[in-house]
Amino acid sequence: MTHMHLLPDGWKQPIGYSNGMVASGTMIFLGGQIGWNENQVFEAQTFAEQFEQTLNNIAVLLSEAGAAPKDLVRLTWFITDKSEYLANLKEIGRIYRSIFGAHYPAMSVVQVADLIEDAAKIEIEATAVIKGDF
């Protein structure tokens, strides 16, 4: 995949995300992933545990498409509790790096009133780009 982070001259380097990315290749779009396992069962109850399961789900789906976390160009997070998210930032960072490494695509985090699955605390949509044609 060919991609480039967007950082205009004079802009402060973002920490843990990119302002934007330019990419060329085959696009992979993942629907919102949540913190349940492959059998759609919530084993994880805390925000951090659900976040870890959500990233693992994304990594498995990327692999199924012949991609890896380094191919991600965008993540959109939907969270149900901003204060719970902020209280877990260090653990979120540790989990993120353990699964996705130090690759930080363009990201947005949005607090929502609720998610469709009552037990879900987080949902993440992902877009990746790899070389080649589908």
Give the C-alpha distances (Å, rounded to integers) separating 8 from 12, 19, 21, 74: 9, 10, 12, 18
- What's 51-116 look like in SS3? HHHHHHHHHHHHHHCCCCHHHEEEEEEEECCHHHHHHCHHHHHHHHHHHHCCCCCEEEEEECCCCC
- Tens of pLDDT along 12-24? 888 888 888 788 8
- Domain range 29-130, its CATH number among 3.40.50.720, 3.40.50.150, 3.30.450.20, 3.30.1330.40: 3.30.1330.40
Q: What is the pLDDT of residues 71-82, one digit of tens each?
A: 999 999 999 999
Q: pTM to 2 decimals?
A: 0.89
